[in-house]
């Protein structure tokens, strides 16, 4: 099986590349990445063909997709705050980028296309848990680009018979997630602050909740979807319906590091939703053999990885 991973030098992408190299039956892996947020070092020592460039480059995609059986499209500017600062850049990378990927897939003979959407598409819809059939209500340009991604996948499935599968990722965390840039996610940022003895900043009162999924679990689902060629043009939530408050997350990091964390409270951020929890029924029925790693273990592994000072990624540190 020949698989292309766009955004494969990023956090989720490089974990997936590593997971797939351990799978029998995968004969060749290709990565397309412009290294805007990713890092080639994440793929060090792995047997992959690297195509450096943008997913908006049709000629590059034509070369990378030649003979491919499947494409996992993860390349995107994955940040709500960044999309608020520069909506057009997010649109180009995420929406136009997805359209280019689908065009290249169509011209390459129709490989299986799995793509990353996001729970942010639920946005202002207050209903919990988030079932895939709820009305989408994007609150940021980023969320619009992800809803557009899903709509394009569905359109290419119905118009060109392309075998597709869009996933709505919730909050993914784990080894390989960067803490050192302006748009870093909460878990790596807080682990890094704790290990450095700095306080953590909480926007709001900390009782807001998120449905965190360990990156190894996400890779298990994606691998199963690839190997069994699961096709469905309707989006599938990729989270298991467990809600963790930010205050509880701090307690987990305290317990994994053995350190007390000072909290600094700030005003809530524009575009942040208060609660997020997936309805996981569709995911569990499509992928009955995948079980999620409990948050305690995932946080412990993430702390261990952060302490190892970026040794090669590992499912279990």
Stretch that binds ligand NAD, among 5-13, 98-106, 123-131, 190-198 (CB under 6 A): 5-13
Tell me the per-residue interface mask from 18 to 57 with ligand NAD, x by CB under 6 A, - otherwise. Answer: --------------xxxxxxx---------------xxx-
DSSP code string of 161-214 = ---EEEEEE-EEESTT---SSTT--HHHHHHHHHHTTPPEEEESSS--EE-EEE
User: Helix, strand, coil proportions of the chain in percent (round to 5)?
Assistant: 40, 20, 40
Q: How far is the CB of 262 from ligand NAD (least distance, A)?
A: 25
Which residue in 31, 50, 55, 223 sits closest to 152, CA to CA? 55
CB of 34 to ligand NAD, least distance (A): 4
Token pair in block for residue 183: 């748009």
Task: Check residue 17 for interaction with ligand NAD (CB under 6 A).
Answer: no
**Pairing mode, strands 28-33 and 49-52:** parallel
Site for ligand NAD in 132-191 (CB under 6 A): 169, 171-172
Minimum CB–partner distance for residue 285 and ligand NAD (Å): 21
Output the smallest distance, CB 146 to ligand NAD, in A.
7
As given in the structure block, the two tokens for residue 70 are 């499947």
Query: Minimum Å distance from CB 296 to ligand NAD?
Result: 19
Residue (24 or 52) nearer to ligand NAD, CB: 52
Q: Residue 40 or 259: which CB sits closer to ligand NAD?
A: 40
Distance in Å, CB of 44 to ligand NAD, minimum: 14
In terms of Cα–Cα distance, which of 120, 166, 172 is closest to 141?
A: 120
CA 97/CA 6 separation, integer angstroms: 10
Q: Which of 4, 5, 9, 202 binds ligand NAD (CB under 6 A)?
A: 9
Q: Residue 77 interacts with ligand NAD (CB under 6 A)?
A: yes
What are the tokens at 153?
């996948």
Q: Are 237 and 170 in contact (CB under 8 A)?
A: yes
CB of 133 vs ligand NAD, minimal distance in Å: 19
Spatial distance between the Cα atoms of 111 and 2, rounded to a whole number of angstroms: 10
Backbone angles phi, psi at 296, to 5 degrees: -60, -45
Span interacting with ligand NAD, options 70-78, 101-109, 157-165, 285-293, rule CB under 6 A:
70-78
* 242 lines the binding site for ligand NAD (CB under 6 A): no
Q: Which of residues 55 and 193 has its CB atom nearest to ligand NAD in the complex? A: 55
Q: How far apart are CA 312 and CA 74, in angstroms?
A: 21
- Number of residues in contact with ligand NAD, rule: CB under 6 A? 28
**Residues of the shown chain interacting with ligand NAD in the complex, contacts defined by CB under 6 A:** 7, 9-13, 32-38, 54-56, 74-78, 93, 97, 116, 118, 169, 171-172
């Amino acid at each position: 099986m020949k698989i292309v991973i766009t955004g494969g030098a990023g956090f989720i992408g490089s974990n997936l590349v590593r997971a797939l190299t351990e799978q029998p039956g995968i004969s060749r892996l290709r990565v397309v990445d412009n290294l805007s947020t990713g890092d080639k070092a994440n793929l060090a020592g792995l047997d992959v063909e690297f195509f450096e460039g943008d997913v908006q480059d049709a000629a590059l995609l034509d070369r990378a997709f030649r003979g491919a059986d499947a494409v996992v499209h993860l390349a995107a500017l994955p940040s709500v705050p960044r999309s608020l600062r520069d909506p057009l850049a997010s649109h180009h990378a995420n929406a136009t980028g997805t359209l280019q990927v689908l065009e290249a897939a169509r011209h390459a003979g129709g490989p299986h296309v799995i793509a990353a959407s996001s729970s942010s598409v639920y946005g202002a819809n207050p209903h919990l848990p988030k079932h895939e059939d709820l009305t989408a209500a994007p609150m940021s340009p980023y969320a619009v680009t992800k809803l557009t991604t899903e709509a394009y996948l569905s359109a290419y499935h119905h118009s060109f018979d392309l075998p597709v599968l869009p996933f709505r990722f919730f909050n993914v965390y784990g080894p390989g997630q960067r803490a050192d840039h302006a748009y870093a996610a909460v878990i790596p940022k807080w682990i890094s602050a704790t290990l450095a003895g700095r306080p953590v900043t909480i926007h709001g009162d900390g009782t807001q909740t998120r449905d965190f999924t360990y990156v190894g679990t996400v890779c298990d689902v994606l691998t199963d979807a690839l190997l069994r060629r699961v096709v469905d043009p309707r989006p599938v939530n990729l989270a298991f319906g467990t809600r963790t408050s930010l205050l509880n997350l701090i307690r987990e990091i305290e317990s994994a590091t053995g350190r007390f964390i000072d909290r600094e409270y700030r005003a809530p951020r524009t575009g942040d939703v208060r609660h997020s929890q997936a309805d996981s029924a569709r995911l569990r029925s499509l992928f009955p053999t995948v079980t999620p790693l409990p948050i305690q273990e995932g946080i412990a592994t993430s702390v261990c990885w952060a302490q190892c000072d970026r040794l090669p990624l590992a499912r279990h540190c």
